[in-house]
């Protein structure tokens, strides 16, 4: 690998001048600049980023921790982040927490000791303690949380209004005439499953429907299989249910598949609404009414905010945290009347 020193020797000038010429410093003569640049490209010189990092104390690399990569919503977020980062000359190291608090903690440690310039994170379902997050903040590494966040942690956040979106979804079921509405909710810890549950509950109350906790099913891994399982369970427990608000499209599609199998007519016998607007929602039969959740935009926005914080930190500006709430919208399809 070619170094500055080699270029300098080649031309019989100093390393300092070579470095400056390459970086376009004004105090280098045009002649020298031209010569240096030509020689550099001829020798295929590439600055040693390890040395540059050490000197400049930044790596132009950020870390991203995500609960699960093989997931349409999250892979869309990743895509948004990577694209935006690339535009600004940043690279992205991706880690997957597998919804585990322990792993998430280890990975943050890893990223911190790699000295990434910033961290983007969506919390694991298992995360109920935030010491590992406040440690990042204490170390003054910029961090932006998205989608699955911790409200109490003082940092920038990019989210949707889960509560409002869930309220609208539930209200849609009420509007089409449902009287007994079940909810397949996500795990207990994540803020978004809490908020979606609260939105559901609020909508019932506001429209004079009794809240019945036995109609709320607590899911664990949010899979297709769980959707099918609880759809079946619901048929056993509550024959009278005429609508379900389901936390995630994948689960909803599992439920639809089970109802199809059992010959339950959707939406005639039961209305179903999902969440996220995974593109398969438009493809299955009946197609799924759902809430559109803008993953790609969320990723882009999250990086933009992180980028600004990284720059501000470099300039020693005080960082003011932002909370961005992206819009969602109801997408009405065949699974609701």
Please report whether residue 285 would count as binding its own copies according to CB under 8 A.
yes
- For residue 91, the partner it binds in DNA, its own copies, none, with Cβ less than 5 to 8 A by kind, is its own copies
Q: Which is nearer to DNA, 45 or 197 (CB)?
A: 45
What is the pattern of x (binds its own copies, CB under 8 A) and - over residues 126-165?
Answer: -------------x--------------------------
Residue selected from 22, 28, 39, 61 as contacting its own copies according to rule CB under 8 A = 61
- For residue 337, the partner it binds in DNA, its own copies, none, with Cβ less than 5 to 8 A by kind, is none
Q: Which is nearer to DNA, 26 or 239 (CB)?
A: 26
Can you give the chain as a three-state secondary structure string? CCCHHHHHHHHCCCHHHHHHHHCCCCCCCHHHHHHHHHHHHHCCCCCCHHHHHHHHCCCCEEEEEECCCCCHHHHHHHHHHHHHHHHCCCEEEEEECCCCHHHHHHHHHHHHHHCCCEEEECCCCCCCCCHHHHHHHHCCCCEEEECCCCCCCCCEEEEECHHHHHHHHHHHHHHCCCCCEEEEECCCCCHHHHHHHHHHHHHHHHCCCCCCHHHEEECCCCCHHHHHHHHHHHHHHCCCCCEEEECCHHHHHHHHHHHHHHCCCCCCCCEEECCECCHHHHCCCCCCEEEECCHHHHHHHHHHHHHHHHHHHHCCCCCCCCEEEECCEEECCCCCC
- For residue 76, the partner it binds in DNA, its own copies, none, with Cβ less than 5 to 8 A by kind, is its own copies
Residue selected from 96, 191, 328, 336 as contacting its own copies according to rule CB under 8 A = 96
Contact residues: DNA, CB under 7 A: 1-5, 13-17, 19-20, 22-23, 26-32, 45, 47-48, 50-52, 54-57
- For residue 280, the partner it binds in DNA, its own copies, none, with Cβ less than 5 to 8 A by kind, is its own copies
Please report whether residue 286 would count as binding its own copies according to CB under 8 A.
no
- For residue 83, the partner it binds in DNA, its own copies, none, with Cβ less than 5 to 8 A by kind, is its own copies
Q: Given the rule CB under 8 A, which residues bind its own copies?
A: 1, 46-51, 53-54, 57, 59, 61, 69-72, 75-76, 78-79, 82-83, 86, 91-96, 110, 112-115, 139, 224, 253-254, 257, 260, 279-280, 283-285
């Amino acid at each position: 690998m070619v170094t500055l020193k080699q270029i300098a020797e080649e031309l019989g000038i100093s390393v300092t001048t070579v470095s400056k010429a390459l970086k376009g410093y004004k105090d280098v003569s045009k002649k020298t600049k031209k010569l240096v640049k030509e020689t550099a490209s001829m020798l295929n010189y590439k600055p040693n980023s390890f040395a540059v990092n050490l000197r400049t104390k930044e790596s132009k690399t950020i870390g991203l921790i995500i609960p699960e990569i093989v997931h349409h919503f999250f892979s869309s977020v990743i895509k948004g982040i990577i694209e935006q980062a690339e535009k600004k000359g940043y690279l992205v190291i991706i880690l997957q927490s597998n919804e585990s608090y322990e792993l998430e903690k280890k990975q943050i440690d890893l990223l911190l000791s790699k000295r990434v310039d910033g961290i983007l994170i969506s919390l694991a379902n298992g995360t109920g303690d935030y010491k590992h997050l406040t440690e990042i903040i204490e170390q003054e590494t910029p961090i932006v949380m998205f989608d699955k966040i911790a409200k109490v942690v003082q940092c920038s956040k990019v989210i949707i209004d889960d509560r409002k979106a869930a309220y609208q979804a539930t209200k849609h079921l009420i509007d089409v005439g449902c009287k007994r509405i079940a909810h397949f909710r996500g795990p207990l810890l994540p803020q978004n499953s809490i908020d979606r549950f609260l939105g559901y509950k609020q909508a019932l109350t506001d429209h004079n429907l009794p809240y019945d906790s036995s109609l709320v099913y607590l899911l664990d891994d949010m899979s297709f299989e769980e959707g099918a399982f609880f759809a079946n369970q619901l048929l056993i427990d509550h024959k009278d249910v005429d609508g379900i608000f389901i936390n995630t499209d994948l689960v909803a599609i599992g439920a639809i598949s089970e109802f199809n199998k059992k010959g339950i007519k959707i939406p005639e016998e039961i209305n179903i609404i999902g969440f996220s607007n995974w593109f398969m929602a438009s493809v299955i039969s009946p197609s799924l009414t759902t809430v559109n959740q803008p993953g790609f935009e969320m990723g882009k926005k999250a990086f933009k905010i992180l980028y600004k914080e990284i720059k501000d930190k470099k300039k020693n500006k005080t960082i003011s945290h932002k909370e961005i709430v992206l819009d969602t919208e109801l997408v009405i399809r065949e699974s609701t009347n």
